[in-house]
Amino acid sequence: MNGTCIEATDKINEAIAHKVGQQRYKIWFKNSTRLMIEDNYVKVGIPNLFIGGWIENHFAEHIHAAIQEVTGKSMKVIFTIDPALFGGQRRRQLDSQAEFLTKSPTARRRQDFNPNRRTNLRYRLDNFVVGGANQLAYSAAKTVVMEPRTHFNPLFIHGGCGLGKTHLLQGICRAVHENRPETRYLYVSGEEFTNQFILALKMGKLDLFRSKYRQTDLLVIDDIHFLASKKATQEEFLHTFNAIDMASKQVVMASDAPPKMIGQLSDSLVNRFLSGMVVKIDTPEMETRCAILRQRAAEIDRKIPEPVIEYIAENIRANIRELEGALLKVVAYCSLSRCEVNLVLAKEALEDHIARTDPIVHLSDIEAAVTTFFGITPADVHSSKKTRTISLARSIAMYLARKHTTMSFPEIGRFMGNKNHATVILACRKVKTFLDNPDKPVMWETSLGRREMCIQTLLDKLESSINR
Ligand code: ADP
Ligand code: MG
């Protein structure tokens, strides 16, 4: 990149700030985007699809106009993910972005922004690192790929967030497609299945829906726990499952909880799930974490010294997604300092990150305290169930997470069952409203009947059991 280009991008940034206003510029562009002028187009680096989608939908015209103004030409704008921007945003900025999204009635639609529109399958089995914690799940996945008729149906994979369930499921689909191109497969999330079912019901198109799902050789449903407490969808899914099973075709599912722990799943579904093969993915051992980091480093073509790999793997244990994020952050930090990656810089780069992700332990302590107190399970908290007790417990867990960790709203949401940042914001507001009305006790149900307590007393009790 030469000096003129840098100057030009500075000017374009200024022009964008002028057009969208300083405040919005600060929230959406600063530390969130990086412009690069190529021969006949401008690349806008974005930290993730969500932010990218928002910017594309709201500011594409401003960006175009700013480019035209500065360069005198109308240039194409291309959005790409830029790892150097990962983790560059401060908590306050993440919160402001989340607030904006929450207020926007159309925010949900934007989630499907996807620069790789050609395919929605990002992962492959051949770069899945196998270790003790995921060995069984991987072998089962391989069996589904190799054998058109396995002796188990369904294959049910469960495990915590960011441990590779989606990777395995998408990997199965791609490998099946490559090995046996004639196989008809369907990959959907539990949420998509539910939405399509409801839409079909409303539009009187159940026949179409049914034939689509029942005439498939391999049905893969991710995040099936989304069906918790959705009775009609569960029933429909049971019929779908039976039809596929009768035809000796395969069903594969993933969930963040084992079948029995998914709240309000009908007994017949639970039994169906248990009649197949249920495998768990555990958090990976040190050795696997190192192997994953080495592989990622090779993929991005960077040499990472072994002590740095070990430092990252040692400090980030709970979630592979975070592990990868940390590696990218170290790489970006070192490039900015124009140095080779080394341990001193890695420690510096991750100081903040480790302080922020360290509370994962803390978060599980909070969850443990809250679920024990209310007599529910962590899976209930992660579900979308809205019974009085569970939603109270969930709100309180989120409120305490916000109070006792430095995590942002989106981060808390992600760790508590992949919830939207909006859910966390609303939960915190709800608890604050209780606190503002101290005379009105909060109520919940237990197996021994209804209980009530002043919110402050309740929080005090929980906080003392967390800190013990
Ligand atoms: P989950 O669906 O369980 O929440 P994902 O499948 O989305 O988790 O995995 C999170 C990230 O970690 C992805 O980028 C995925 O590629 C990576 N990952 C998880 N497990 C492995 C593994 N065994 N080998 C390589 N990458 C992995
Ligand atoms: Mg997943």
In this prediction, residue 2 has a pLDDT band, given cuts at 50, 70 and 90, of: low
pLDDT tens digit sequence for 135-192 = 999 999 999 999 988 889 999 999 888 899 999 999 999 999 999 999 999 999 998 9
Assess whether pLDDT exceeds 50 at residue 119.
no
Confidence (pLDDT) at 100: 66
Average pLDDT over residues 292-306: 93
Ion ligand 2: residues, CB within 5 A, are 165-166
Confidence (pLDDT) at 336: 81
Indicate the domain borders of the chain.
Answer: 3-89, 125-281, 363-466
The domain 363-466 is placed in CATH, from the list 3.40.630.30, 1.20.140.10, 3.40.50.620, 1.10.1750.10, at 1.10.1750.10
Radius of gyration of the chain (CA): 24
- pLDDT above 90 covers a percentage of the chain that reads 49
pLDDT tens digit sequence for 410-423 = 888 988 888 889 99
Residue with more model confidence, 265 or 413: 413
Assess whether pLDDT exceeds 50 at residue 359.
no
pLDDT tens digit sequence for 240-257 = 999 999 999 999 999 988
Between the CA of 46 and the centroid of ligand 1 the distance, in Å, is 21
> Under CATH, to which class is 125-281 assigned?
alpha beta
pLDDT tens digit sequence for 222-240 = 999 889 878 899 999 999 9
Q: What is the C-alpha separation between 251 and 144, in angstroms, rounded?
A: 9
Q: What is the C-alpha separation between 129 and 296, in angstroms, rounded?
A: 10
Q: Nearest ligand to the C-alpha of residue 167?
A: 1
pLDDT tens digit sequence for 322-338 = 899 889 889 888 888 88
pTM to 2 decimal places: 0.61
Confidence (pLDDT) at 257: 82
Residue nearest to atom 21 of ligand 1 (CA): 164
Between the CA of 377 and the centroid of ligand 2 the distance, in Å, is 20
Q: Nearest ligand to the C-alpha of residue 320?
A: 1
Confidence (pLDDT) at 285: 93
Whether the CB-CB separation of 207 and 241 falls below 8 Å is answered with no
Between the CA of 316 and the centroid of ligand 1 the distance, in Å, is 14
- 3-89 domain in CATH 3.30.1120.80? no
